[in-house]
Amino acid sequence: MKPTSAKPIILMRYGLFAFGTLIATHASLLAGNDAKILSGNNKISDSNGKTEVAYRYGTLAVDIQGKVTDGKGQALPGVNIVVKETQKGTSTNASGEFLINVDSEKDVLVFSFIGYKTQSVVVGNRKEISVILEEDTNVLNEVVVTALGISREKKSLGYSTQQIKGDVINESPASNFVNNLSGKIAGVNISGAGGVGSSARIVIRGESSLSMQSQPLFIIDGVPVGNDGTNNSGSADYGNSASEINPADIESVNVLKGPAAAALYGSRAARGAIVITTKKGSNRKGVGVSFNSYLFGTKVGRLPKFQNQFGQGSNGQYEGSNFGASWSAYPNGNNDDYDESWGPRMDIGTMKAQFDSPTTNGFRGGDVAVNNRGDVIKTPWVSQPDNVRDFFTTGKKYYNNLAFSGGNEHGDYRLSLTSMNEKGVIPNNNLDRYQVNLNSSYRLTKRLTSSININYVKQTSDNRPDNGYGRNTFMYFFTWMGRNVNMNSLKRYWQPGLEGIRQFQYNYGENHNNPFFLQYEDTKGQSKDRVYGNIALEYAFNDHLKLKARVADDFYNDFRPMQWAVSSVDNESGRYEIVQIKNEERNADFLLSYNNTLRNGDFGYNISAGGNRFDNSGHNENVAAPQLLIPGVYSISNTGTALTGGSSKFQKRINSLYGTANLNYKDYVYLDLTARNDWSSTLPAGNNSYFYPSVGLNGNLKSIFGLPEFISQAQLRGSWAKVGNDTGPYALKNTYNYASPWGSNYALVGTGGLLNPNLKPEIISTYEFGAAVSFFSNRLGLDVTYYNALSKNQIISLPTVQSSGASSKQINAGEIRNKGLEAVLSFVPIRTADFKWNVTVNWSRNVGKLMSLTSEVDKIVQAAPGEDASIQARVGQKMGAIWGPGYQRVTADGPMKGQVIIFNDAYPRGTSEDIYLGNYHPDWIGGIYNQLTYKGLSLNFMFGGQFGGKFVSRFYNKAAGAGQLEESALGRGARAAGTEYDAPYYIPGAAQMADGSYQPNNTSSDGTYSTGVYGTNARYFIKKPLDHISEAQLFSSTYFKLRELSIGYALPSKWIANGKFIKNAKISVTGRNLFLITPKSNRHFDPEVTTSTDGGGLIPGFENMSTPSTKEMGISLNLNF
């Protein structure tokens, strides 16, 4: 492994080189204008400016320019500035700058910005006025960034949004940014699959799509970033693209929950939008520096509970010899080809020849490919209670961010450098990410402002996490691994003298990979370069009319080398494969906006019109050396057989035109109207244009009715919106696929999915109502939203019968209605000068229902990632339903009614028709966030959880059936040593007698299950009631966890030289996922990571060899200079 210390240097080289050019370009722009503007600043105002103003207004008016910042020196965009008692007004631009024309020195400028205290400033003889706005403690009066980057007072919106400040996210940065949002926003459900940097699935307001693609759109400073469901190569999870967003650069995250909020972002925001605003530079003297450093230690969280009484073998018999390697020169042992734990009792003083027992020639028993291994010397047959836990290590995460910011009246910049180096709890699973962010704006002339925001991300990994059911994942291995196996004995994973050629295992008969071999030799690496950002120009024709034009780009190159060493199961001769993915998304847009007020500012209006062209294109290539010529050399040229590979490219375009009008009467009533039309290249001519409007209304009851003082705020809001949605490229016409050739016979094959040349756009329409009230100077506030969304004309792949020659056909069908309630309660129990305690509670509940499908079918299988169970949408029933075989039970009346039938072969059976098993959606989800500050000391903690919901576990099914889990010791654990496998076992249930009557199948009561009607052996006693009976594999998804805990201390300024050099310093101790509570019935899993990544995407409701969740503890240091 490369020394990590070299990496920052590489970063500097890459990062600075890449950005050198950009910065230089931008700087030369600065320099080129310097002569005119920077040095001659006052002159412009004094002479030129006056002349110009005089020309324009024909009066003696004066232009005042300036900048508005917050207490920390951050620029505040969107601050309203009005000249008191006139109709004149403007607002600050993205850099917090403004330009306003006044008539007299006596004029008063009123700066207002919700979330901040309103400030009035007398102009006097100044030409330049900079204002620092003081933050208002009024929690509910926030300003949020809405669609198209328009800042709005939250109280003026007709729909529900929820904002989180960057510092809340930044308390403990997760390697996947999306996980930082967990539990913080009502109505947002996040699930993942585990492993460093692995994908996370985020769904807002429930599943609205039959194709399970309900992901919202991420917008970073106006630039869309997709977060597609999955990003797999083989079974390795490479993390979806929103994971790379850097928490340290985030000023705020605003979640626009429904289509009303997202109506202007178009199709891709049909299922909500997560709008991220990054930190900007500030107008201040000198260079501002902030430094944040985090060091986290990570431990594996909950692991399944294993039995520790019985070791490997079959029917109580085990003695090692060739450990199941029938190809080996050594003879078979007694049942040593069995991997499962149905062997003899451990810890009773017996000795066995084991895979890690020494041999007479100094080798290990399992070195079965070694010529002169010798005889195996028996060692004690003892349990290894922690063998699975021993596989995991302590993970480490270093996260450092250094940011410089500065500026003057003409421009500002912020340059942020971030490194994240994480080693997971899984051996050799790591992620290194280096990020550079430059955010800068500059006033080229008084009316023209340019801005640039560029991010460069370099992400590398030696090995990404593997997921799913297969020989490539270690959790799969743990379902079978004998309970007698000492994990540490597997660490030397080559057989001596056969390094690179023959792996070492505890069992060869069942074709498992040694988990350490898997982690260190069969690796899935990554090297990804990504640049995203935008360049914008904004021209202010006058105080009211502005035009903004912008080009945004997001492109990445992702290189994924994947290797399999010689002797890998399924790749006996080794394999090397490289995958190269390039993706680019470009958005070019313009926005013309006009704002003004009428009748002394009582009526305000803001009208905008704009357009956008979205272009997405990409290609990926993969090529593999399917068998290595020389072991251990990973090069495509090193192939022992014909290379295989493939490539694909795609292109998609959406053109859009849109407009919006925001009207208000005083702060009494606000009305928003939007309209948008999209033209998508993915839909057929004739159906590729679709229009969608929205309307929102908000009434401020406090102002209208002049409510009593103890009511701080009372507003009602409502909105209605429609959003259209298109599909992926090339979804209209069938093509042929390439089949692997037969010698020199090259081949094509037809495709199973029948495409449809007549697709129409999907339409989601939503209405919602909400109310926000707060009392006692906002110490108690409640924000409640009810929504009702109808998703129609969904583009779905309707399964067809295979006998039709098509596995599915694309159609427009289906109506899904989602209804839900979201509530945010904020409460300030204590607020004194020194002590403050804020509590925020999120709660949400969503119910989705399939209203109709098509005339052909009344149900559709949405996903079936496990064995037998599937997620099915059935007409008239709730979305998210898990169906699968249940037990055949007694239906005849009588004392046995409802009991599981035990047939004369001694086993229960699954129903041939699927039964309803449960819904993966929780009944509700919630979170409680507490912030306590006492002088410099702060304590933040967040609880989160969900109630209700179910998942099906494949690990449970396999591992219990293989004699590994605690449950599998039932019965045999209660029998006397040596007799465990002698007499039959009787599965509890209703034995079906020859005459059709029923009797209790198990009649023993001492826990041995040793008497009854139909008996079987110990293994089938456990396995048969589970196998292919999904009902038996079902768990509750209810959990409650301490998601985050942090204690911080801001050092008193006298400790840091009275703030002369270091302005402030804070030290924190942070923990994530510190404890987890689940119902008694679920001792094995953290429901938050029970998401399957098999197949096409992240599928909730299925545990499928999920990587366990982790808990983290760390310290952080934040310094500002």
Partner 1 sequence: MKKLSYISFLVLLLSVSCTNDFEEINTNPNSPDVVTNVGLLLPNAIRSAVNRSYSSAYDRGGIVANLLASDFASNFSNWSRNDATGYFLWNYYDYIRDLNEVIEISEKQNLKNYKGVALVLRSWMFQSLTDIYGPIPFREAANAKLTGISSPAYETQEAVYAGLLADLAEANTLLGSGNETVTGDILYNGNTANWKKLANGLRLRLLMRQSKRVDPSVEMKKIVSDPTTYPIFTSNTDQAALQYLADITANESPFYRSGNGGTGTKVSKQLVDYLKTMNDKRLYVYALPTPASSEIDASGNRPDPSKFVYTGDLNGIGMFPNANITSPSGMLWMSIQYSPDLASSKGGQGIIMSYSEVQFILAEAAEKGYISGGSTAAENYYFNGIKDQFKYYASRIPANYATSYLKLTPASISADDSYFKQDAVAYTGTTDKKLEKIGLQKWISLYQVGFEAWSEWRRTGLPNIPIGPVGPGYIPRRMLYPADELRINVANYNKAVSSLGADDLKSHVWWDK
By CB under 8 A, what part of segment 496-515 binds partner 1? 509-511
Collapsing DSSP states into helix, strand and coil, what is residue 806? coil
DSSP strands (E only) in 123-182:
128-133, 143-145, 151-153, 161-165
Min. distance of Cβ 679 from partner 1 in angstroms?
4
Residues 1020-1049 that bind partner 1 (CB under 8 A): 1028
Residues 878-937 that bind partner 1 (CB under 8 A): 905, 910, 912
CA angle 378, 380, 383 (to 5 degrees): 135
Rounded-to-integer distance, Cα 190 and Cα 201, Å: 5
Encoded one letter per residue, x for contact with partner 1 by CB under 8 A and - for no contact, window 425-444 reads --------------------
Query: Binding partner 1 by CB under 8 A: which of 326, 832, 855, 1005?
Result: 326
Using rule CB under 8 A, residue 982 touches partner 1: no
Using rule CB under 8 A, residue 732 touches partner 1: yes
- For partner 1, give the closer residue by CB, 368 or 415: 368
Residues 663-682 that bind partner 1 (CB under 8 A): 677, 679, 681-682
The residue type at 829: P
For residue 40, what are the contacts with CB-CB under 8 A and spacing of at least 6?
none
Using rule CB under 8 A, residue 855 touches partner 1: no
Min. distance of Cβ 482 from partner 1 in angstroms?
17
Using rule CB under 8 A, residue 655 touches partner 1: yes
Using rule CB under 8 A, residue 377 touches partner 1: no
CB 672 within 8 A of CB 695: yes
Collapsing DSSP states into helix, strand and coil, what is residue 1117? strand
Using rule CB under 8 A, residue 166 touches partner 1: no
Using rule CB under 8 A, residue 805 touches partner 1: yes
Question: Using CB under 8 A, which of the segments 16-24, 322-330, 529-537, 584-592 binds partner 1?
Answer: 322-330
Output phi, psi for 1001, to 5 deg: -75, -35
Rounded-to-integer distance, Cα 177 and Cα 164, Å: 13
Using rule CB under 8 A, residue 809 touches partner 1: yes
Using rule CB under 8 A, residue 492 touches partner 1: no
Min. distance of Cβ 32 from partner 1 in angstroms?
36
Collapsing DSSP states into helix, strand and coil, what is residue 1050? strand
| Six-digit token string for 608 | 């905008």
- For partner 1, give the closer residue by CB, 339 or 462: 339
Min. distance of Cβ 644 from partner 1 in angstroms?
7
Query: Binding partner 1 by CB under 8 A: which of 748, 976, 994, 1057?
Result: 748
Output phi, psi for 620, to 5 deg: -140, 145
Query: Binding partner 1 by CB under 8 A: which of 5, 21, 55, 327?
Result: 327
Rounded-to-integer distance, Cα 812 and Cα 756, Å: 9
Q: Which of 152, 1115, 140, 254 is nearest to 670 (CA)?
A: 152
DSSP label at residue 92? -
Using rule CB under 8 A, residue 994 touches partner 1: no
Using rule CB under 8 A, residue 122 touches partner 1: no
Using rule CB under 8 A, residue 857 touches partner 1: yes
Interface with partner 1 (CB under 8 A), residue total 75
Residues 751-780 that bind partner 1 (CB under 8 A): 752, 754
- For partner 1, give the closer residue by CB, 327 or 1061: 327
Residues 213-272 that bind partner 1 (CB under 8 A): none
Residues 329-348 that bind partner 1 (CB under 8 A): 329-332, 337
Rounded-to-integer distance, Cα 346 and Cα 344, Å: 6
Using rule CB under 8 A, residue 1064 touches partner 1: no
Min. distance of Cβ 594 from partner 1 in angstroms?
14
The residue type at 320: G
Using rule CB under 8 A, residue 877 touches partner 1: no
Query: Binding partner 1 by CB under 8 A: which of 802, 855, 891, 1005?
Result: 802
Using rule CB under 8 A, residue 351 touches partner 1: no
Using rule CB under 8 A, residue 832 touches partner 1: no
- For partner 1, give the closer residue by CB, 103 or 615: 615
Q: Which of 262, 104, 346, 125 is nearest to 725 (CA)?
A: 262
| Six-digit token string for 216 | 């919202």
Using rule CB under 8 A, residue 9 touches partner 1: no
User: How many other C-beta atoms can be found within 10 angstroms of the C-beta atom of residue 816?
Assistant: 23
DSSP label at residue 889? B
Q: What is the DSSP string of 185-205?
A: STTEEEEE--STT--EEEEES
For residue 508, what are the contacts with CB-CB under 8 A and spacing of at least 6?
322, 323, 324, 325, 328, 337, 368
Exposure string of 43-57, with b = 16+ CB inside 10 Å and e = fewer, is ebbeeebbeebeeee
Residues 594-613 that bind partner 1 (CB under 8 A): 611
- For partner 1, give the closer residue by CB, 505 or 838: 505
Using rule CB under 8 A, residue 993 touches partner 1: no
Query: Binding partner 1 by CB under 8 A: which of 1, 801, 833, 976?
Result: 801
Residues 48-77 that bind partner 1 (CB under 8 A): none
DSSP strands (E only) in 238-363:
250-256, 273-278, 284-300, 351-352
Residue reference for tokens 């600065």: 30
Strands 273-278 and 217-220: parallel
The helix or strand, by DSSP H or E, that contains position 74, with its residue range, turns out to be: none
Encoded one letter per residue, x for contact with partner 1 by CB under 8 A and - for no contact, window 680-719 reads -xx--x--xx------------------------------
